[in-house]
Amino acid sequence: MPDNINEKVISIFAKHKKQQSIDNDDEKIVRNEDGFYYICIQKDSNGRPLVEKNLLERLNKCHYIVKVMIKQPDHAHIHNYRVPGDKILKFLLPYINKEKEGKILEIDTYYPDELA
């Protein structure tokens, strides 16, 4: 389900970038007060309303690979962290507040039980 939703969101942003019309009013791109754009998804890929309990269960199964660049005097290197989904904000906060050295380069999501 989330992969289908991710593909849908990427498609909507791509249409917006190309200034193509979007067919569904529920898929409009909205600009929030911070200047970022988002798409509100209210239904799953089967057209059913999203269920909070299911979303939270999926969060608990989710992990992130966070790539952090560390600068050294003569070169840079990357630390790849595996972070449980429910701890991502705790992990990111020291980098945001500049309490930890490094710059976040990329955050990828994966689900261990979906790996082959």
In a domain, 8, yes or no: yes
Q: Residues 87, 108: one domain?
A: yes
In a domain, 55, yes or no: no
H or E segment at 83?
strand 76-84
What's 92's domain CATH number? 3.10.20
Model pLDDT, residue 57: 86
Q: Residues 94, 71: one domain?
A: yes
Phi, psi of 72, rounded to the nearest 5 degrees:
-120, 165
Domain count within the chain = 2
In a domain, 36, yes or no: yes
pLDDT at 27 over 80: no
**Domain extent at residue 72:** 62-114
pLDDT digits (tens, 9 = 90+) for 58-105: 888 899 999 999 998 999 999 999 999 989 999 999 999 999 999 999
DSSP 15-51: HHHTT---S-GGG-EEE-TTS-EEE---B-TTSPBP-
Q: Decide which of 50, 71, 86 is a domain's last residue.
A: 50
Rounded mean pLDDT of the chain?
Answer: 82
Is the pTM value of this prediction over 0.85? no
Q: Residues 45, 69: one domain?
A: no
Q: Residues 78, 105: one domain?
A: yes
